[in-house]
């Protein structure tokens, strides 16, 4: 979730899912859930074996138009439904995702990451901004599916259908904040500025000169924190006293109540995220409450992982309790490889790695990879930028082992799409060059260490105009003017086309990755790089002594070079492209890579 603007149908969904399985799945429809042995095999897969497909249910597929208004009155500012506005609901839902699982699997994805599907406050206003919760980050009921997306039956149908195909399901969760419900009496008609702990301590009402309250509260004994009006006078508006579920979320005592974060200093942890009610995650009630909530989703649905939103805006002690509890809950449910990764929106590995060392995160989204890979593939940076990036893997908690399970990605719903970034760097390039560079960026992601994470719609060539709403296109022919005006990379195709140039290119990469264990689990060694666009080479080494060499050319001219390899890698075979069959000498291999392309060469048994 970025700083900017962040502030369906049970019976029918099940019937639609069953019909889809009957018509497209090789498994018998009467066994919608995965067979026990197949489910066990799925859960034994380590995170680095996956290819993740991240989507916003609201923008991916509309399986049941009857829930477009979520059961609310059809007025735009009540239900939040307005398919012509980038920031409102467009009608996609869980039934639609279930309908399109074959499309996702055909791309080579093995796990589906859903943007939050919990019940949200449909419409919010903060300052001059009014929008709807199509993204799912304004949660009121943490225990229920948002009615715009379906219900418990639709959720269960999706998980069962995915597992039946051997696909995992990851949920996007939020523990930092809830929807904006709490108000402050001191600023009824404007956002409230942040009030610090030093100027507004917990033990004085409304500042240093105020009356003494919360006697003896030292930040640890929360039984002594009985009043929430130390910085502002928070209250819940009439009619919203029971807006949140579970019920403990309705009490302002469980929130920081200090005004809007400036995203600097202590406010980064204690401030409201653009008005969203910031949970007092130091409070044991909040800690246990969130463990109970999200442990319950594991118990109920047998999901396979959590992406955790706004990880950097929560105190480390919360994560140190929460994450081990989730992993234990998953193990008890028979899910030993439950994948947890946090959102730490920063391109510095020293920042992202801290969350694996201090906060107990097994992994974080690899924002440093995103920036570096896109700049290298765009021709903005020399290939040695990747060398520096991968050298920093040592700073993660378990070094290369942690780096191996970092979800790598090229763009997302907050920052924009890879196609936009490539176009921005190459404003005069023709369509063929843009397409080649976007393919190359995906190859860098698919064949280097980490867990490739595809952003829905990239495979259809969506690029958008960058930023928040412009990178959340409908997969279908919708009513949003800015989306309809776009010319996708590789040309416009029918909705959900499996013939789109980027779809077929990514699917080829995924097939190669699935067929070559070294490309998923092999130890990575950088072989060649330079300070300008051109050659980047890396080896993925497996235990028996095999070597898979991946060679990239980020320049518009062919590259010919000798690349160092393992001394025992004398004979070679092609996995993709034109690979010579013999090493030039022990430890030296001759390569020729076409412009803006890549090769994969594999050492052959001697």
* Token pair recorded at residue 553: 């050319």
Beta strands in 288-431 (DSSP E): 305-308, 339-342, 363-364, 407-408
For the segment 418-436, what is each residue's pLDDT rounded down to a tens digit?
999 999 999 999 999 999 9
Q: Given pLDDT bands bounded at 50, 70 and 90, which one contains residue 587?
A: very high
- Please, how many CA atoms are within 13 Å of residue 419, restricted to the half-sphere of its CB? 25
Question: What pLDDT score was predicted for residue 313?
Answer: 98
Phi, psi of 539, rounded to the nearest 5 degrees: -110, 145
Kindly tell me if the per-residue pLDDT of 349 is higher than 50: yes
Please give the share of the chain, as a percent, with pLDDT higher than 90: 92
Give the pLDDT band of residue 297 (cuts 50, 70, 90). Answer: very high
Cβ atoms within 10 Å, residue 297: 20
Q: Which of 283, 343, 366, 547 is catalytic?
A: 343
> Rounded to whole angstroms, how far apart are CA atoms 347 and 201?
34
Can you tell me which residue has the tokens 């498994």? 27
282 catalytic per annotation: no
Q: Give the pLDDT band (50/70/90) at residue 10.
A: very low
Q: How far is CA 565 from the centre of its chain?
A: 35
Q: pLDDT tens digits, residue range 524-549?
A: 999 999 999 999 999 999 988 899 99
Active site residue 309: yes
SS (HEC) of 538-583: EEEECCCCCEEEEEEECCCCCEEEEEECCCCCCEEEEEECCCCCEC
pLDDT tops 70 at residue 7: no
Let me know: does 256 contact 315? Beta carbons within 8 Å: no
Per residue in 81-91, pLDDT (tens digit) is 999 999 999 99
Q: Among 2-16, 163-177, 438-452, which stretch is predicted with the lowest mean pLDDT?
A: 2-16
pLDDT at 437: 98
Given 309, 359, 474, 566, the catalytic residue? 309
Residue 25 scores a pLDDT above 80: no
pLDDT value at position 1? 67
Band of pLDDT at residue 467, cut at 50, 70 and 90: confident
The residue assigned the tokens 């005069």 is 428
Residues 6+ apart with CB under 8 A from 203: 212, 213, 214, 215, 217, 230
pLDDT number for residue 350: 97
Tokens matching residue 227:
């009043």
549 burial type by CB count under 10 A (0-12 exposed, 13-18 middle, 19+ buried): buried
For 564-584, write each residue's pLDDT tens digit. 999 999 999 999 999 999 999
């Amino acid at each position: 979730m970025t700083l900017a603007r962040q502030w369906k149908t049970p019976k029918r969904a099940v019937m639609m899912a069953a019909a889809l399985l009957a018509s497209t799945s090789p498994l018998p429809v009467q066994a919608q859930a995965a067979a026990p042995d197949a489910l066990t095999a799925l859960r034994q897969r380590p995170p680095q074996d996956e290819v993740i497909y991240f989507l916003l249910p609201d923008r991916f597929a509309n399986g049941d138009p009857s829930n477009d208004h979520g059961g609310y009155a059809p007025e735009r500012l009540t239900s939040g439904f307005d398919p012509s506005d980038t920031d409102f609901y467009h009608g996609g839902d869980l039934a639609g995702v279930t309908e399109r699982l074959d499309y996702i699997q055909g791309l080579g994805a093995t796990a589906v990451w859903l943007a939050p599907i919990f019940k949200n406050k449909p419409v919010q206003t903060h300052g001059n901004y009014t929008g709807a919760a199509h993204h799912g980050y304004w949660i009121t009921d943490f225990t229920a599916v948002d009615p715009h997306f379906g219900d418990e039956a639709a959720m269960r149908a999706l998980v069962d259908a995915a597992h039946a195909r051997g696909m995992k399901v990851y949920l996007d969760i939020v523990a930092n904040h809830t929807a904006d419900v709490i108000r402050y009496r001191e600023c009824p008609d404007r956002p409230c500025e942040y009030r610090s702990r030093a100027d507004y301590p917990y033990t004085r009402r409304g500042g240093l000169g105020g009356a003494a309250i919360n006697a003896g509260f030292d930040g640890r004994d929360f039984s002594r924190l009985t009043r929430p009006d130390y910085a502002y006078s928070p209250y819940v508006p009439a009619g919203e006293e029971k807006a949140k579920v579970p019920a403990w979320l309705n009490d302002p005592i469980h929130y920081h109540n200090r005004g809007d974060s400036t995203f600097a200093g202590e406010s980064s942890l204690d401030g409201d995220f653009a008005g969203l009610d910031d949970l007092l995650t130091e409070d044991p009630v909040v800690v246990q409450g969130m463990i109970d909530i999200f442990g319950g989703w594991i118990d109920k649905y047998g999901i396979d992982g959590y992406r955790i939103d706004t990880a950097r805006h929560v105190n480390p002690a919360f994560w140190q309790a929460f994450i081990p509890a989730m992993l234990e809950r998953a193990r008890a449910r028979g899910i030993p490889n439950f994948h947890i990764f946090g959102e730490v929106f920063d391109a510095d590995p020293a920042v992202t790695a801290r969350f694996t060392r201090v906060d107990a995160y097994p992994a974080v989204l690899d924002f440093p990879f995103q920036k570096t890979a896109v700049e290298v593939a765009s021709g903005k940076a020399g290939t040695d930028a990747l060398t520096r990036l991968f050298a920093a893997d040592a700073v993660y908690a378990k070094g290369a082992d942690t780096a191996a399970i970092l979800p790598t990605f090229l763009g997302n719903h907050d920052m924009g799409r890879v196609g936009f970034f490539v176009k921005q760097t190459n404003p005069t390039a023709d369509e063929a060059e843009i397409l080649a560079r976007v393919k190359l960026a995906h190859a860098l992601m698919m064949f280097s260490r980490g867990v490739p994470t595809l952003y829905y719609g990239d495979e259809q060539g969506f690029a958008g105009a960058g930023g928040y709403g412009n990178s959340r296109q409908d997969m279908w022919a919708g009513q949003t003017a800015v989306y309809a005006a776009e010319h996708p990379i590789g040309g416009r195709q029918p909705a959900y086309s499996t013939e789109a140039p980027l779809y077929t290119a990514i699917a080829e990469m995924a097939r190669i990755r699935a067929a070559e264990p070294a490309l998923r689990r092999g130890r990575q060694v950088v072989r060649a790089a330079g300070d300008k666009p051109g050659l980047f080479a890396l080896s993925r080494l497996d235990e028996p002594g095999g070597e898979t060499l991946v060679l990239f050319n980020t320049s518009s001219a062919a590259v010919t070079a000798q690349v160092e390899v393992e001394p025992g890698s004398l004979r070679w075979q092609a996995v993709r492209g034109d690979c010579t069959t013999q090493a030039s000498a022990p430890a030296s291999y001759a390569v020729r890579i076409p412009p803006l392309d890549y090769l994969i060469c594999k050492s052959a048994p001697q």
